[in-house]
Structure 1
């Protein structure tokens, strides 16, 4: 590691958008596909276009409970002057009606359905109080989906409603891209799995990051903690890069004596970003080993999460042909001002409260990137762009729901 950097820290920090662009330039999209059954395809990304090979429905059906009739038999029908039809079991002739229910196949000979509330039945006869047009209250063939209709393009991420539509047109399996595999390596001498002693900390970053990766459409594998030893780090990172499409490390990404991860990655490949104008968590690093992107996340939990959302999420989605969507936001009035550093993109944690019947956003805390509860107990965060020097009290802001499943 450069000794000047160890002593002086990050003299220059890359802007967030520039860092993402550099990462995007080095990401290789997957072309591995597999065929999966429709019920197991939720949140998977289609690799091929999908078209319907049948009409839905493939028969005309009643859209209401009532009587299937020939519309011409109801001309002139009204409350004062109903038309009287004979009730039969099926296939009505002129002057006849058949009892039907919503979704029933329309009997041959019928071309309309009179709603049950517009009739009165007396034995084998029914009085009709409504004049109908041909096709009224009838769902025609192909009303839902037409045969040959284009349904989805490659790259579409399937939702539960999509699965229902696919099954309705008789599709039982689809071709999808394999999810990108992501290796998550926690690093640090002080990390333990349980029962921490003095100077020790329970390792949580790999759990949080892995579950986020799974929500983003990846397939995460958690590794055991690797100590701050260059040989151990090199062995673990090199192996993970061979086995996975993306690798994320947590901890050891800054410029201290024990922050060895960027140096090791640079030996194995290239570190093209180290230090980003972002708060909390500017000591993030981005690298590449062979064709595998490596996102080196800070060890402090809040900084780790912020950078995972800003960089690892994009790497996972770009690699897996997944759409990168902006997080949903909720409007709120800022309860008190939030300071920020000019030239730095800031993510301020807030929780929702109510004041005078209005939703307000209360800053949780301005600092403390090691205080995990400040994120876990918050309702979202506010993004303050580089060109803004803080947000004033009373400002109407958009609170990002960074933990949404997308």
Structure 2
């Protein structure tokens, strides 16, 4: 191991694994490390809960209240437990009637009906009678249609009214199951729940749902120069661990943000072993080939390094490994490189662990203002700022935005990401993108 490590430090990264290949290798390790995990749901509550069922075998599940299920991933298909609505209801304000009693009614020749006692479900509509209803009211017994309030004139006798519009059976009535029918398929396993979904599930008879457990992530910042308070000469405020831990939470995981670990093999070893109870371990810093970049050899000593050095810029000195079945992602210490690698490798890992795949990033199409250089064989992530173009400057089918690469492009310049509107990806097989080309700007950090 020592000889191999010395060779690594001498040679640097002469061979870099393509991004897609590195991601494939990582995914195989994630799936293999969680193979055989069983279902951890309880559907004993009957129709008040969605039980576990069809879910990838790599995923643990848990039963949660509907109120806490926003953003969670369904572990099983869901069908409605009841009809919605479960009763016939008035679709308009007006009077519930027997449709046959309004036959021939018009403005010139209205039908006169008696007003039934009570309203809504408390009334009973006998022949030639009508009962007051409001939108959403249960249709009274005996009624089969609703005359809109605009077509009714209440007479001074109070107990009679004129109907100036003939209605057909079922008119202005919402039937049972109009919104959702009992046993209707609502969502497939793997669907990420939104607030509107929660309302629908509650309407459909569910108080709890079985969802994938949130993957747990240990986030370990490393580096003897890192401090949390005011930095002295040669010291740097720790930001990578903070950023990565918050990204984990946004991506649906549960992060444990650890204190800084110094550049010492034994300290790094202990830190990794401590978090082997997590679903994935992420370290920041110490992943390259310098004298203080110790994490690759520590990971290889404890387990196996799968990939070290990836064809991406910024951030090629990433190290992907596995220790006792737990994926370990050693991200570079430069802030921009750390973020790029977190998005490219940690984000999909969190998704795989919950049984889903990463959603595409929201994109904005824009015209590139300046050339973006890139090396063939390297996937480049160029930070850009967007500016809206004047409508008078637009030609037919031109994008409304201009994308300008940020002047500060170094991987250590955190502000170049924080102040950018997104990044443009230059594929591995291209040698840059010329100015004037239409590009897709990825918003890798949209609001949740």
TM (normalized to structure 2)?
Answer: 0.86
Q: Distance in 2 between the 1:78 and 1:338 partners? A: 73
* C-alpha displacement of 1:48: 3.2
From 201, 205, 218, the equivalent of 1:166 is 201
| Rounded Cα–Cα distance in structure 2 between residues aligned with 1:196 and 1:152 | 51
The 3 A distance-change label for structure 1 pair 66 and 394 is farther
Q: How much has 1:158 moved relative to structure 2?
A: 1.9
Q: CA deviation at 1:4?
A: 3.5
Q: Return 125-134 or 343-352, whichever deviates more.
A: 125-134
Distance 1:34 1:339, change over 3 A: same
Q: How many residues align?
A: 405
1:120 and 2:153 aligned: yes
Helix, strand or coil for the counterpart of 1:317?
helix
**Cα distance change on mapping 1:289 and 1:92 into 2, 3 Å:** same
List aligned pairs for 1:89-128, cutoff 5 A: 89=117, 90-123=123-156, 124=158, 125-128=160-163
Helix, strand or coil: the match of 2:135? coil
RMSD in angstroms over aligned alpha carbons?
1.8
Alignment equivalent of 1:18, drawn from 3, 16, 21: 21
SS of 2:219's equivalent in the other structure is: strand
Contact 1:216–1:405 under 8 Å retained in 2: no
CA distance in 2, matches of 1:161, 1:397: 33
> Within 5 A, what are the aligned runs for 1:3-402?
3-28=6-31, 29=34, 30-89=58-117, 90-123=123-156, 124=158, 125-241=160-276, 243-357=277-391, 358-365=400-407, 367-402=409-444
Query: 2:397 corresponds to which residue?
Result: none
- CA deviations over 1:198-229 (Å, ceiling 9, x no partner): 11111011111111111111111011101111
Query: How many angstroms does 1:46 deviate by?
Result: 2.4
Structure 2 residues without counterparts, runs of 5 or longer: 35-57, 118-122, 392-399
TM-aligned CA deviation for residue 194 of structure 1 = 1.0
Distance 1:82 1:365, change over 3 A: farther
**Separation in 2, partners of 1:106, 1:323:** 46
In the alignment, what sits opposite 2:41?
none
Q: Report if the CA contact (8 A) 1:349-1:365 is conserved.
A: no
The secondary structure found in structure 2 opposite 1:257 is coil
Question: Relative to total residues, which structure has the larger strand share, 1 or 2?
Answer: 1
The DSSP-based 3-state class of the residue aligned with 2:432 is coil
Distance 1:205 1:344, change over 3 A: same
Cα offset for 1:307?
Answer: 0.5
Report SS of the residue matched to 2:329: strand
Hey, what's the Cα distance between the residues in 1 that align with 2:428 and 2:322?
Answer: 27
CA distance in 1 between partners of 2:161 and 2:387 (Å): 60
Residues 330 and 76 of structure 1, relative CA distance in 2, 3 Å threshold: farther
Deviations 1:347-375 (A, max 9, x none): 11122212223322222236211111111
1:312: Cα distance to partner? 0.6
1:226–1:117 CA distance, 2 compared to 1 (3 A): same
Partner SS, residue 265 of structure 1: helix
* SS of equivalent residue, structure 1 residue 211: helix
Contact 2:114 2:161 in 1 (8 A): yes
Structure 2 distance, partners of 1:21, 1:87, is 73
Does the Cα contact within 8 Å between 2:383 and 2:409 map onto a contact in 1?
Answer: no
Deviation, 1:75, is: 2.9
Out of 144-153 and 101-110, give the one that drifted further. 144-153
Is the Cα contact below 8 Å between 1:214 and 1:220 reproduced in 2?
Answer: yes
Runs of 4+ deviating beyond 6 Å: none
Counterpart position of 2:45: none
Alpha-carbon offset, residue 244 of structure 1: 0.6
Distance 2:248 2:228 in 1: 21
Q: Partners of 2:115 and 2:402 in 1: how far apart?
A: 63
SS of aligned partner of 2:406: strand
TM-score by length of 1: 0.94
Matched residues in 1 for 2:186 and 2:67: separation?
Answer: 17
Q: Against the structure 1 CA distance between its residues 31 and 391, is the aligned structure 2 distance closer, same or farther, given a 3 Å change threshold?
A: closer
1:306-331 superposed Cα distances (whole Å, 9 cap, x missing partner): 11010011111111213421111122
**Contact kept? 2:315, 2:340, Cα under 8 Å:** yes
Decide whether aligned partners of structure 1 residues 79 and 155 sit closer, same or farther in structure 2, where only a CA change above 3 A counts.
same
